[in-house]
A and B are shown apart, each in its own frame.
Chain A
Amino acid sequence: MTWVRQLLAIDRRIIFLLVGAGAALPLLFPLNLPVAVTPRVRAAYDAIDALPPGSKVLLSMDYEPDIMAELFPMSVAVLRHCFRKHVQVIAMTLYPAGTGLGERAISTAAKAEGAVLNRDYAWLGYKSGFQVVMIGIGENLRGMYPVDFYGTPLDSIPVTRHVNSYAQLQMVINLSGSSAADYWIQFAQGRYHAPLVIGCTAVMATDYYPYLSSKQLLGLIGGMKGAAEYERLIDTFGDARRGMDAQSLVHLIVVGLVIVGNAALFISKRSGGDGGGPASGSMTR
């Protein structure tokens, strides 16, 4: 049947159009769908929530604009939680283009929670070299960062004055979309035994499940869904919860397409066809 073959070999631009509409519409007309909290995100929330006021955490926001849709709302949510609990944050990034994003995340959260620079948080900015920086912090923070992003010596900043290595930090939080997370586990947790919470993109999340079972991670926030769960836990409605509406609709569209494709395949087979277009592991040659 011609229409079945046409459906199986559908122009991918039609698929793109459907996905584009599915992503855009809920952002214009929010659906406010519910978000269920998973144990991994709950564990991350509980670990931060249990920190006594005045505790110090190192937050490394290691991402660039390409994955900010997932990690920026996560950064804001985590920072807001810290500020709300009066946990002092020493923030940094290992990506050059992460400087602007990190600063924006901090100012957004600080504005929402009334946090003040140098009293509630310090912003160290960007430093290159994953392992070198992580080991450097373990040995001598001032060797890596003699001054903060704005040029103030760390000794003059109340938040950093008594901190010179992981030993003086109650927790390390890494939000990243790259192998930076592996290095934080290897060095900050593995070598210096710093309590560690990781936030990463959804695709990466399952890579870190074994570290949760082995207790090398206290919690894991995965992708926009994880960020949305965190927003729910701190009772805010941010970009992640808004984004989950779009993600839900796009997932439904993809599921719909897969079902339609399989129905067409079934009809094609019954009418003696070969199933039309190529499938997994058998591209046209």
Chain B
Amino acid sequence: MVRSGFVTPELDTRWFDPARLNVLIGILLFTAFLVVNIFRARAKGTLYVRPIAGLKALDEAIGRATEMGRPVLYVPGLSDMSEVGTFAAITICARLAYRVAEMGCDIDVPCYDPVVMTVLDGAVREAYSKAGKPDAFRPGCVHYVSAQQMAYVAAVNGFMLRELPAANIYMGSFYAESLLLAETGARTGAIQIAGTDKVTQLPFFVCACDYTLLGEELFAASAYLGREPIQLATVIAQDWAKALAAAAIVGALVLSALGHPALQTWLKVA
């Protein structure tokens, strides 16, 4: 038996990584912004959030589907529950399903991930109950397709071409399949609304869809659709954090140009 010659790496016994202090401070500040805005929302009762064209179009899309007697197709992205984009897709789906139930049209949600399918099934079922139409919920409208990217695309494209949904909504994390799906949807003449946190796929959706939610708009969507003050407060907290990030970047840039790179170094994430 040949003896191993490798060296065992030294065990880390620290209970805090000081190189990540900047991230901790950032998260604490963000949480503080969130709490402050929740109190503001409770005091005021409402908060203003700018209109997002793609989200205003959701009602139009559902209305169109109802008039035409065709289903709404909701594609919740091709990621699992470890992606925040998937959570955004779930919350948007729940709110969309509520409107679909209210207006009395049909929804079809093909899933890539079995856990996401289970969660979405519960969310859509609950939305129908909340809309006062639990009997209108069609078992199997949220269904599993495949955990293989291209097999999933083939199945969803086949559905689009056979069932001709009036509206195709793509929300969540998408990869190379984005254009394959959106281009097929465009061919069927459906109204298409997309939203993704995957920056690389945004141009494809912009080309092939009627409306596209860009990056963070995906995360703001559920708050916007719900119009609940506490949810809107999170969007405003996000804006405050963005302003702080912009100020930090400009500050670091100016200080570095003046020969003081300390802030720039501190902002780097280890």
Contacts and interface: CB of A to CB of B under 8 A. Distances in A.
Chain A directly contacts chain B within the complex, with at least one CB pair under 8 Å: yes
A161 B6 CA distance: 7
Interface residues of A, number: 29
B200 A156 contact: no
A285 interface: yes
Contacts of B270: 190
B76 to A, nearest CB: 17
B209 A206 contact: no
A162 B6 contact: yes
A283 B191 contact: yes
Nearest to A140: B8
B64 interface: yes
A207 B211 CA distance: 23
Interface string B177-217: 00000000011011110000001100000110111100000
Given A167-B7, A207-B199, A161 B2 contact: yes
B5 A162 contact: yes
Contacts of A12: 187
Contacts of A178: 175
A151 interface: no
A278 B6 CA distance: 64
A174 interface: no
Contacts of A164: 4, 6-8
Contacts of A280: 206-207
B3 interface: yes
A155 B64 contact: no
Contacts of B211: 281
Given A156-B2, A281-B206, A283-B190, 8 more contacts: A66-B150, A161-B4, A161-B6, A165-B6, A165-B9, A204-B200, A283-B186, A285-B210
The 6 lowest CB-CB distance pairs between A and B, nearest first, are A164-B6, A162-B5, A283-B210, A155-B2, A167-B9, A284-B189
Interface of B: 1-9, 64, 149-150, 175-176, 186-187, 189-192, 199-200, 206-207, 209-212, 268, 270
